[in-house]
Amino acid sequence: MVKYPLEPYRIKVVERIRTTTRAEREQILKEAGYNLFLVKGEDCLIDLLTDSGTSAMSDEQWAGLVRGDESYASSRSFFRFERVVKEITGFTHVIPTHQGRASERILFSIMGGEGKTVPNNTHFDTTRANVEFSGATALDLAIPEARIPAEEHPFKGNIDLTALEQLIEEQGTENIPLVMITITNNTSGGQPVSLENIRAAREVCDRAGLPLFIDACRFAENAWFIKEREPGQGDRSIAEIAGEIFSYADGCTMSAKKDGLVNIGGFLGLHDDELAVKAKNLLILTEGFTTYGGLAGRDLEAIAQGLEEVLEDDYLTCRINQVRSLGEAISEAGVPIVKPTGGHAIYIDARAMLPHIPPLEYPGQAFVIELYREAGIRAVEIGSVMFAHRDPETGEELPADLDLVRLAIPRRVYTQSHLEYVAEAVRAVFERRDSIHGVRITEQAPMLRHFNARFSPLEDK
Ligand code: F0G
Q: Is residue 3 part of a domain?
A: no
Round the CA-based radius of gyration of the chain to a whole number and report it. 22
Eight-state DSSP code of residue 438: -
Residue type at 350 in one-letter notation: A
Spatial distance between the Cα atoms of 30 and 439, rounded to a whole number of angstroms = 13
Q: If you measure from the C-alpha of residue 100 to the centroid of ligand 1, how many angstroms do you get, rounded to a whole number?
A: 6
Alpha carbon of 268 to ligand 1 centroid (Å): 14
Q: Indicate the residue among 309, 336, 357 that finishes a domain.
A: 309
pLDDT of amino acid 108: 98
Nearest CA to ligand 1 atom 21: 100
Q: How far apart are CA 224 and CA 366, in angstroms?
A: 34
Residue 10 lies in a domain: no
> Rounded distance, CA 213 to CA 175, Å?
16
Closest Cα to atom 8, ligand 1: which residue? 100
218 CA → ligand 1 middle, Å: 10
Whether ligand 1 lies within 6 angstroms of the CB of 215 is answered as yes
How confident is the model at residue 388, as a pLDDT?
78
Q: Is residue 17 part of a domain?
A: no
Residues 300 and 334 in one domain: no
Ligand 1 centre to CA of 444 (Å) is: 23
Percent of the chain surpassing pLDDT 90: 94
153 and 262 both lie in a single domain = yes
Q: State how far the alpha carbon of 286 is from the alpha carbons of 53, 58, 97, 294, in Å.
A: 21, 30, 10, 8
Same-domain check for residues 208 and 330 = no
Pick the last residue of a domain from 265, 286, 309: 309
Residue 232 and residue 123 in one domain = yes
User: Which parts of the chain register pLDDT below 50?
Assistant: 461
79 and 41 fall within a common domain = no
Which of 125, 126, 35, 124 minimizes the C-alpha distance to 451?
Answer: 35
Site to probe by mutation for ligand 1, drawn from 186, 187, 382, 450 as the one with most ligand atoms within 8 Å of Cβ, is 186
Q: Which atom of ligand 1 is nearest to the CA of 49?
A: 19
Distances (CA, A) of 66 to 60, 196, 300, 316: 10, 42, 12, 27
441: three-class secondary structure by DSSP: strand
- DSSP symbol at 449: G
Judgement on whether residues 375 and 342 belong to the same structural domain of the protein: yes
Q: Last residue of some domain: 278, 309, 340?
A: 309
Neighbours of 13 (CB within 10 A): 8
Distance 411 CA to ligand 1 centre (A): 14
Does the Cβ of 266 fall within 6 Å of ligand 1?
yes
229 & 87 share domain: yes
Tell whether ligand 1 has an atom less than 6 A from the beta carbon of residue 126.
Answer: yes
* Residue 255 in contact with ligand 1 by CB distance below 6 A: yes
Q: Is residue 337 part of a domain?
A: yes
Contact residues for 89 (Cβ-Cβ < 8 A; gap 6+): 216, 242, 243, 246, 252, 269
Alpha-carbon span 244 to 351, nearest angstrom: 39
Same domain, 402 and 266: no
Domain of residue 453 covers 22-51+313-460
Nearest CA residue ID for atom 12, ligand 1: 100
Q: Is the distance from CB of 5 to CB of 410 less than 8 angstroms?
A: no
- DSSP 8-class letter at 94: E
| Cβ of 217 below 6 Å from ligand 1 | yes
Q: Are residues 191 and 287 in the same domain?
A: yes
The CATH number assigned to the domain holding 156 equals 3.40.640.10
Distance CA 53, CA 258 (A): 6
Is the CB of residue 98 below 6 angstroms from any atom belonging to ligand 1? no
Residues 246 and 352 in one domain: no
Give the count of beta carbons closer than 10 Å to the beta carbon of residue 324. 16
Examine residue 398 and state whether it is found in any structural domain, yes or no.
Answer: yes
Q: CATH number for the domain including 431?
A: 3.90.1150.10
**For position 223, what pLDDT does the model report?**
98
Beta-strand pair 439-443/377-378: unpaired
* Residue 141, C-beta contacts closer than 8 angstroms, at least 6 positions apart: 119, 120, 121, 159, 160, 163, 164, 167
CA 171 to ligand 1 center in whole angstroms: 28
Instruction: For ligand 1, pick from 126, 214, 386 the residue to mutate: most ligand atoms within 8 Å of CB.
Output: 126
Question: Does residue 108 form part of some domain?
Answer: yes
Within-domain flag for 14: no
Q: How many domains does the chain have?
A: 2
Q: Does one domain contain both 193 and 268?
A: yes
pTM of the prediction?
A: 0.96
Residue nearest to atom 4 of ligand 1 (CA): 124
- The Cβ-side half-sphere exposure at 37, using a 13 Å CA radius, reads 14
Is residue 181 included in any domain, yes or no? yes
pLDDT in tens, 45-95: 999 999 999 999 999 999 999 999 999 999 999 999 999 999 999 999 999
Ramachandran area for residue 294 (φ above 0: left; ψ -120 to 50: alpha; else beta): left
Query: Which of 257, 323, 450, 451 should be mutated for ligand 1, with most atoms under 8 A from CB?
Result: 257
Q: Is the beta carbon of 257 within 6 A of some atom in ligand 1? A: yes
If asked whether residues 247 and 283 sit together in one domain, one would say yes
User: What's the confidence (pLDDT) of residue 2?
Assistant: 63
What pLDDT does 448 receive? 83
